[in-house]
Structure 1
Amino acid sequence: RDRDGDYKVGSSFWSTFIHELSSLQQGSLEMPRLFVFLLFSLSITVASASRWRCLPEDAQVVNEIFAALNRTTFTGDCCHLFSMIQCNPNTSSVTSFSLFGDDFNGPIPAAIAKFPNLQFLSIHKMPNLHGGIPPSFASLTKLTYFRITWTNVSGPIPSWLNRLTNLGGLDLSYNQFSGSIPPTLADLPSLTWLHLDRNKLTGPIPESFGQFRGANPSIFLSHNSLSGPIPKSLGRVDFSTIDLDRNLLVGDPSHLFNNRSKSLSTLILSRNLFDFDLTGVTFPSGLQILDFSHNMIGGSIPTEITSLANLQQFNVSYNRLCGRIPQGGNMQKFDSSSYMHNRCLCGPPLSAKLC
């Protein structure tokens, strides 16, 4: 998912499906209620004939979930519940399940864990959903994508998530999760996409996050209350995106990015308590977004930054920087708002401050 909330995955079906969910999240489409989706699915069931037939055991699980949602018993082919379910065309087993809507008040239905072949699980935009993640979800070991977003689900993030060893994407953003980040998340061998942003998480970033094995992982930990320095171990990981905006992190984070050969394209460290000398620091050559604003960073802006040919967004405002602002390259794109409220930066575009 990029900063605007858009999801990027390989499969055309998932791309379309997640794009629709993201459009709903961003308000570009009207958010239907869960009840409307269920009625729509039932109408499709009546109107269509399918080569698939829901497995009896999966149909039973659907009715357990419906009971938890205070819905009437479903008697059709659950593989026709297109707004909620996708089935494997060869085995007819349920492989994808999603819930979204704002008319249900209660905990996450634990019966979801009874789908033995579930690969995709999305629970989105259900603000009245509360409680924790059911422990029974530890049995969903075939999941490759797990999403609970924009709900009132709370409590600690379960340490048993490391049992879901096929996970490539985990999104628990925009919830009420609290406590520390479980170090066991780094045990997931295929995890390349981790969203824990917009929660109430505290404590340090785990040292174990330097052991991520997924290719070029992206981590989104913004809008929490994480504290302490960033572990040196994270410098060993070739991240694609790092977003740590709006936390209480301290110290020198340059080990995350001080290497031109890294794959890092997005680096957001804004609104923390970072305190280090920027002079002489190097950056990954493919960097596109760099936001260091609202910290306590000193020194000067290195001239090497003018060589970043892909740089599209840049902000070092509200720091303690001094010296001449480098000119050339993509730096001409950025106006005074990228540099304001520093100790003694000078030169264009800060026209009032000549060097």
Structure 2
Amino acid sequence: MASKLNLPCLFLSLFITISVAELCHQDDKKALLNIKKAFNNPYILTSWDPQTDCCHWYCVKCNRTTHRITSLTIFADDRLSGEIPPYVGDLPFLETLILHKLPNLTGPIHPNIAKLHNLKFLDLSWNSLSGPIPDFLSTLSNLFVLSLSFNNFNGTIPNSLSKLPNLGGLQLDRNNLTGEIPDSFGYFTGEQAPSLYLSHNQLSGKIPSSLSRLNFTSIDLSRNKLKGDAFMIFGSNKTVQIVDLSRNQLEFNLSEAVFPQSLTSLDVNHNKVFGGLRPEMTKLNFQYLNVSYNRLCGEIPVGGELQKFDVYEYFHNKCLCGAPLGSCK
């Protein structure tokens, strides 16, 4: 008698199980299982069981209404190995793709990523990816963040990346990129210029003058082989906050640079910068400043934030003097 009374509960439980299982779109589940297989079934993807709803799998998020996969985030696993699988392109509703800190993820960026037209965040940083940065990334018109940092990418930076209309952050630092910074980077078409990180590469030539057209909130060109001046980054009408030009071969008169009121961090150490520090720099709210290892002369202006920095942020200049360095003679 008790077993008969429990039959409705049993059917209800079965109905709920079936309903939940059907939430996951079968095309998405197939793509994810192919990705798992291509990665040699790593432990981090153990929850990817074909008998369960893929919307509940680890590293995956679904849209609550459509139940299509919108996010795939796999990170910090040295047991996952292989190249980016072509099946990633079979997740057409993907908005976030993060493959991060996977030291055994190798090879190029697979061209099927160009099929992900809804993609907003593409983070392939801290891996062992290689080859050139492909032009097809410029077709991802909804992309807001593109991070390819800490890999082994080589070759030149594609001019076409400036075509990304919604780009808010471009991180290509710590690779083996060569050639010049594209002149097209002064022509990003979005409402605001992206934060630009190109440090720790082998970039050469001059910083393109076209950059004067844009307002970069943050720009890091450090540890390259750049020459010439950097005036195009500054200006009284700019709103740039963080500028790192350190460890290049830049050669310009710092006295002639007009810094915007927004500037809070400036690093030009290990260059060939000459001239002196403008008195107007005392009016800036510097959180960080480093002008060491250059050819600066004259007295460090007194006031503002300039005396709060250590001697190490000023030393190894031609004839710079005044606190926190020794007194001027």
Tell me if TM exceeds 0.5: yes
Q: Is the 8 A contact 2:307 2:323 kept in 1?
A: no
User: Where does residue 149 of structure 2 map in the other structure?
Assistant: 173
CA-CA distance at 1:105 after TM superposition = 2.0
User: Where does residue 12 of structure 2 map in the other structure?
Assistant: none
Distance 1:176 1:216 in 2: 26
Determine if the alignment matches structure 1 residue 105 to structure 2 residue 77: no
Other structure's SS at 2:61 match: strand
User: Where does residue 253 of structure 1 map in the other structure?
Assistant: 230
String of CA shifts for 1:94-116, please: whole Å, max 9, x gaps: 00011221102211111011001
Once the two structures are superposed, the pairs formed by residues 306-345 of structure 1 within 5 Å of their partners are: 306-308=282-284, 310-345=285-320
Other structure's SS at 2:40 match: coil
Deviates more, 1:277-286 or 1:49-58: 49-58
Other structure's SS at 2:37 match: helix
Deviates more, 1:203-212 or 1:275-284: 275-284
CA-CA distance at 1:297 after TM superposition = 0.4
CA-CA distance at 1:52 after TM superposition = 7.8
Other structure's SS at 1:323 match: strand
CA-CA distance at 1:79 after TM superposition = 0.4
Deviates more, 1:235-244 or 1:101-110: 101-110
Q: Is the 8 A contact 1:102 1:127 kept in 2?
A: yes
User: Where does residue 63 of structure 2 map in the other structure?
Assistant: 88
Aligned match for 1:200, one of 164, 168, 176: 176
What percent of counterpart residues are identical? 46
String of CA shifts for 1:273-330, please: whole Å, max 9, x gaps: 000111132101111110010000011111111111x210000000000001111011
Residue correspondences, number: 304
Q: Is the 8 A contact 1:162 1:188 kept in 2?
A: yes
Other structure's SS at 1:128 match: strand
Give 2:31's aligned amino acid. Answer: V
Distance 2:50 2:301 in 1: 66
Give 1:277's aligned amino acid. Answer: N
User: Where does residue 34 of structure 1 map in the other structure?
Assistant: none
Once the two structures are superposed, the pairs formed by residues 20-99 of structure 1 within 5 Å of their partners are: 53-71=23-41, 74-81=50-57, 83-99=58-74
Aligned match for 1:239, one of 216, 224, 233: 216
Gaps of 5+ in 2: 1-16
User: Where does residue 217 of structure 1 map in the other structure?
Assistant: 194
Other structure's SS at 2:98 match: strand
Other structure's SS at 1:197 match: coil
String of CA shifts for 1:215-239, please: whole Å, max 9, x gaps: 1420000000000001110110111
Q: Is the 8 A contact 1:52 1:79 kept in 2?
A: no
Q: Is the 8 A contact 2:196 2:220 kept in 1?
A: yes
Other structure's SS at 1:201 match: strand
Give 1:221's aligned amino acid. Answer: L
Give 2:311's aligned amino acid. Answer: S
Please, what TM-score do these two structures have when normalized by structure 2? 0.89
Q: Is the 8 A contact 1:52 1:92 kept in 2?
A: no
Distance 1:51 1:109 in 2: 25
Determine if the alignment matches structure 1 residue 296 to structure 2 residue 272: yes
Please, what TM-score do these two structures have when normalized by structure 1? 0.83
Other structure's SS at 1:245 match: coil
CA-CA distance at 1:333 after TM superposition = 1.3
Q: Is the 8 A contact 2:72 2:96 kept in 1?
A: yes
Distance 1:115 1:289 in 2: 41
Once the two structures are superposed, the pairs formed by residues 128-139 of structure 1 within 5 Å of their partners are: 128-139=104-115
Other structure's SS at 2:170 match: strand
Rg larger for:
2
Distance 2:34 2:141 in 1: 26
Other structure's SS at 2:254 match: coil
Deviates more, 1:95-104 or 1:188-197: 95-104
CA-CA distance at 1:74 after TM superposition = 2.7
Q: Is the 8 A contact 2:40 2:81 kept in 1?
A: no
Distance 1:75 1:227 in 2: 54
User: Where does residue 328 of structure 2 map in the other structure?
Assistant: 354
Gaps of 5+ in 1: 1-46
Q: Is the 8 A contact 2:21 2:53 kept in 1?
A: no
Other structure's SS at 2:126 match: strand
Determine if the alignment matches structure 1 residue 268 to structure 2 residue 238: no
Determine if the alignment matches structure 1 residue 123 to structure 2 residue 121: no
